[in-house]
Amino acid sequence: MSRPLRAIAALAITGLLLAGCSTPPNTAAVVNGERITETEVADAWLALEPAVAEGVGPAIVLESLVQNALLAPVAAEFGMTASAEDIANFADNVYQGAAPDPFPEGLTNVLGFIILANQLNSSPLSAEIQDAYLIAMQDADIEVNPRFGTINEMGALNPPAFEWITSEQ
């Protein structure tokens, strides 16, 4: 094989390897193979913004979506769910009857997570459910877009560190 052909082949192989390691565009996170898009995060955040306290931003929304992806199946094992009716009733309370229309999927998942977390906190099986959730979190394959930060072993999103930004004092 000639030198130029080897160089082209090497570039092609490198490109294929890198493509296999990257997440698709518009991906905020992948939890056990299930993709959470940046659009889903943004839509949920924009819908939540008027109804929540200041300081809740896209990172908190993503954290809730990641945690919901793991808590919902664990909670279901213990008979806890956030039904569409539960979410609609909760949304009516949060938005005082003026919930967004259309209702973004990400918002449904965030509100579902809040409902499940409330059920968990009031459950007599709370400790057992939390243990099962922590095991699910530790066993999970979670990849977060570095622009949002990293998820720790407890499911909290750590903000991104921008080492190249320094402050002068």
* pLDDT over threshold 60, residue 5: no
**Residue 20: per-residue pLDDT:** 43
Gap between the Cα atoms of 74 and 51, Å rounded: 28
Query: Does residue 63 or residue 10 have the better pLDDT?
Result: 63
pTM exceeds 0.95: no
| Partners of residue 143 on adjacent β-strands | 30
pLDDT band at 1 (very low <50, low <70, confident <90, very high): low
CB 150 within 8 A of CB 62: no
* pLDDT over threshold 70, residue 139: yes
Render pLDDT for 14-60 as a digit per residue (tens, 0 to 9).
444 444 445 688 999 999 999 999 999 999 998 888 777 666 778 88
Burial 109-132 (b: 16+ CB within 10 A, else e): bbbbbbbbbebbeebeeeeebeeb
pLDDT band at 122 (very low <50, low <70, confident <90, very high): very high
CB 114 within 8 A of CB 71: no
**Residue 158: per-residue pLDDT:** 83
| H, E, C per residue of 87-122 | HHHHHHHHCCCCCCCCCCHHHHHHHHHHHHHHHHHH
Q: Which of helix, strand or coil describes residue 60?
A: helix
Interior CA angle at 51 toward 45 and 55, to 5°? 60
